[in-house]
């Protein structure tokens, strides 16, 4: 869902009226799942099956595990029976067969191949975007080999990494040096470059999207020229390249704002939807991080907060996201045709008198795993429209009996990157999902008008139906970005037909 789908982190409940010491500390797996198991006698076996919470092999979660030296193999092409290389995105809705697939190991190699590569040239990170930003019939470029920690300084609060480094690797490399990122998205499979390119974000009124932690970046133009930019050096290229949609060239290196590593406490609790919607603004203001998952057709939602605690505290339990998702799906499968009965059963099955508290190093709590694949849309609305838009999204989705994925609500601080959906405004993000293999057209046809009414800018990496004319009107610096793009790539070698259409380029 951007978190949401496999991730209704419903785990702990506290009173809907106030926050206090959680009633009990239980496995998140036990929340809704236990409730349903008790009420409906389903899925009890799942209660004992433990999973790592951060989506990585369990061994890597051990504090003593060495940080991986480089990114895991990312976009390794699958061999088709004919022996050709085909690429597809995480959710499987986009595929392509590039003429050539390149994984350069040095910037010199990259420069050389960019000069002669057949276009359109597109970079691929971890392939986790739902929009067709990556597919090309020309050259597909992976920066998997341009990854790793190059330099770091706790005193200066900064670290430089290869742009192909995965977020999960970044966290471990920094942790090994006593450092940490300020924030993370729901998952950490993305590459740094891929995450920046679409304005990937986490939650927290005090935190911007990941690109706001960029202190500097190195960008290679399609002609093979390496530019080093920062707010002081080539500031216009920097403002354009922070969120670039991969349209300006190839990001090779990033310097990030980092801090001393830190521990967080996560609290999760279930409460009535109405109570959570009323409390959301206060909770968002009171906690380092707050997010909300509304569970459609149940009348309940899950609130999640993260707050900093002294380094060293660790209290773990197991993740229940998949179990909650499975239970919501079962309710849909069994009772979807009778929404009133579905809600009645859910309200009796859910036991809100449970809660979860977990404490650990920040990156182990901020990102989790999404084994269940899905397609997703997300609108970023002005902060003041957030709850009204969320209410409308819930009401719209509850008209469709097939819906079961939690709806995710997060807050993001505004910034100044030209194509950032958070440009110039603090925002709330509302995301909806449909399981892989199930129809997802209604995410656009029915939620599109809702998002429009509330002035949403779409997440660049998630499904949306905005035209270039609409996008131009939503982004005050649209023309400035277009000018930089034309200067860096006058021949449009980075532009596929989709990219041309998206950017309104002929």
Please give the residue ranges that form the binding site for ligand FAD (CB under 6 A). 1-3, 90, 122-129, 133-134, 143, 163, 185-187, 190-191, 193-195, 197-198, 200-201, 245-246, 250-251, 370, 459, 461
Residue 36 or 210: which CB sits closer to ligand FAD?
Answer: 210
Q: Angle between the 31-40 and 339-349 helix axes, to the nearest 10 degrees?
A: 110
Residue 37 or 428: which CB sits closer to ligand FAD?
Answer: 428
Phi then psi for 264, rounded to 5 degrees?
-125, 155
> For residues 190 and 163, what is the distance between their CA atoms, to the nearest angstrom?
11
> For residues 289 and 271, what is the distance between their CA atoms, to the nearest angstrom?
18
Distance of closest approach, residue 280 Cβ to ligand FAD, in angstroms: 18
- Nearest residue to 304 (alpha-carbon basis) of 283, 278, 325, 274: 283
> Contact 106/172 with Cβ under 8 angstroms?
no
> Contact 217/243 with Cβ under 8 angstroms?
no
Distance of closest approach, residue 231 Cβ to ligand FAD, in angstroms: 19
Residue 401 or 501: which CB sits closer to ligand FAD?
Answer: 501
3-state secondary structure 251-319: EEEEEEECEECCEEEEEEEEEEHHHHHHHHHHHHHHCCEEEEEEECCCCEEEEEEEEEECCCCCECCCC
Distance of closest approach, residue 446 Cβ to ligand FAD, in angstroms: 21
3-state secondary structure 368-417: CCCCCCEEEEEEEEEHHHHHHHHHHHHHHHCCCCCCCCCEEEEEECCECC
Distance of closest approach, residue 337 Cβ to ligand FAD, in angstroms: 29
Residue 134 or 361: which CB sits closer to ligand FAD?
Answer: 134
Nearest-10 Cα torsion for 400, 402, 408, 414: -50
Phi then psi for 276, rounded to 5 degrees?
-65, -40
Residue 316 or 373: which CB sits closer to ligand FAD?
Answer: 373
Residue 200 or 477: which CB sits closer to ligand FAD?
Answer: 200
> For residues 241 and 211, what is the distance between their CA atoms, to the nearest angstrom?
10
Pairing of strands 300-309, 289-295: antiparallel
Residue 1 or 447: which CB sits closer to ligand FAD?
Answer: 1
Enumerate residues 6+ apart whose C-beta is below 8 A from 4: 186, 293, 376, 405, 406, 407, 408, 431, 432, 433
User: Is the alpha carbon torsion for 62, 63, 64, 69 positive or negative?
Assistant: positive
Distance of closest approach, residue 124 Cβ to ligand FAD, in angstroms: 4
DSSP string, 449-466: HHHHHTTPEEPTTSB---
Residue 26 or 502: which CB sits closer to ligand FAD?
Answer: 502
Residue 190 or 255: which CB sits closer to ligand FAD?
Answer: 190
Residue 19 or 376: which CB sits closer to ligand FAD?
Answer: 376
Neighbours of 55 (CB within 10 A): 21
Distance of closest approach, residue 291 Cβ to ligand FAD, in angstroms: 9
Distance of closest approach, residue 492 Cβ to ligand FAD, in angstroms: 15
Phi then psi for 25, rounded to 5 degrees?
-110, 110
Distance of closest approach, residue 219 Cβ to ligand FAD, in angstroms: 8
Phi then psi for 318, rounded to 5 degrees?
-95, 155
Distance of closest approach, residue 181 Cβ to ligand FAD, in angstroms: 13
Residue 27 or 200: which CB sits closer to ligand FAD?
Answer: 200
Distance of closest approach, residue 7 Cβ to ligand FAD, in angstroms: 8
Beta bridge partners of 102: 141
Which element (helix H / strand E) includes 21? none
Enumerate residues 6+ apart whose C-beta is below 8 A from 146: 104, 105, 106, 107, 110, 162, 163, 164, 252, 253
Residue 246 or 382: which CB sits closer to ligand FAD?
Answer: 246
Distance of closest approach, residue 466 Cβ to ligand FAD, in angstroms: 16
Distance of closest approach, residue 284 Cβ to ligand FAD, in angstroms: 16
DSSP string, 129-152: -SSSSS--SSEEEE-TTS-SEEEE
How buried is 436 (Cβ within 10 angstroms: 0-12 exposed, 13-18 middle, 19+ buried)? middle
Distance of closest approach, residue 251 Cβ to ligand FAD, in angstroms: 4
Residue 71 or 317: which CB sits closer to ligand FAD?
Answer: 71
């Amino acid at each position: 869902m951007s978190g949401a789908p496999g991730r209704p982190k419903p785990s702990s409940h506290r009173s809907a009226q106030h926050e206090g010491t959680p009633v009990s500390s239980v496995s998140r797996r036990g929340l809704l799942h236990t409730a349903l198991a008790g009420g409906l006698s389903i899925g009890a076996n799942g209660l004992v099956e433990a999973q790592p919470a951060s989506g990585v092999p369990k061994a890597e979660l051990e504090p003593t595990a060495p940080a991986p030296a480089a990114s895991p193999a990312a976009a390794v092409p699958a061999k088709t029976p004919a022996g050709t290389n085909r690429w597809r995105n995480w959710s499987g809705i986009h595929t392509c067969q590039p003429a050539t697939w390149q994984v350069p190991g040095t910037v010199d190699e990259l420069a050389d191949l960019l000069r002669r590569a057949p276009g359109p040239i597109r970079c691929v990170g971890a392939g986790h975007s739902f929009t067709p930003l990556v597919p090309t019939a020309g050259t597909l470029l992976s920066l998997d080999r341009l990854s790793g920690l190059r330099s770091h300084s706790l005193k200066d609060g900064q670290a430089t990494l290869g742009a192909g480094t995965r977020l999960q690797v970044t966290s471990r490399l920094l942790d090994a040096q006593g450092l940490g990122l300020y924030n993370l998205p729901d998952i950490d499979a993305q590459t740094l470059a891929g995450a920046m390119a679409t304005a990937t974000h986490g939650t927290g009124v005090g935190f911007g999207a990941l690109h706001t932690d960029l202190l500097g970046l190195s960008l290679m133009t399609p002609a093979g020229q390496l530019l080093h930019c920062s707010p002081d050096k080539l500031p216009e290229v920097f403002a354009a390249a922070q969120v670039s949609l991969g349209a300006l060239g190839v990001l090779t290196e990033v310097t990030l704002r980092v801090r001393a590593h830190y521990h967080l406490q996560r609290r999760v609790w279930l409460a009535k939807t109405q109570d959570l919607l009323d409390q959301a603004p206060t909770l968002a203001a009171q906690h380092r991080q707050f997010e909300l998952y509304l569970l459609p057709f149940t009348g309940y939602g899950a609130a999640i907060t993260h707050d900093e605690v002294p380094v060293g505290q660790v209290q773990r339990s197991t993740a229940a996201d998949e179990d909650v998702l499975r239970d919501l799906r079962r309710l849909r499968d069994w009772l979807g045709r009778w929404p009133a009965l579905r809600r009645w059963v859910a309200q009796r099955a859910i036991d809100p008198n449970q809660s979860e508290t977990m404490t650990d190093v920040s990156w182990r709590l901020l990102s989790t795993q999404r084994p269940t694949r899905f397609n997703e849309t997300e609108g970023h609305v002005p902060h003041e429209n957030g709850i009204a838009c969320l209410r409308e999204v819930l009401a719209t989705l509850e008209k469709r009996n097939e819906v079961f994925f939690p709806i995710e609500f997060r807050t993001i601080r505004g910034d100044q990157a030209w194509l950032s959906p958070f440009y110039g405004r603090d925002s709330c993000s509302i995301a909806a999902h449909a399981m892989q293999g199930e129809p997802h057209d209604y995410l656009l046809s029915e939620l599109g008008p809702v998002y429009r009414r509330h002035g949403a800018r779409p997440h660049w990496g998630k499904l949306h139906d905005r035209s270039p004319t609409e996008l131009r009107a939503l982004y005050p610096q649209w023309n400035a970005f277009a000018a930089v793009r034309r200067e860096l790539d006058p021949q449009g070698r980075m532009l596929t037909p989709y990219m041309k259409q998206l950017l309104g380029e002929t």
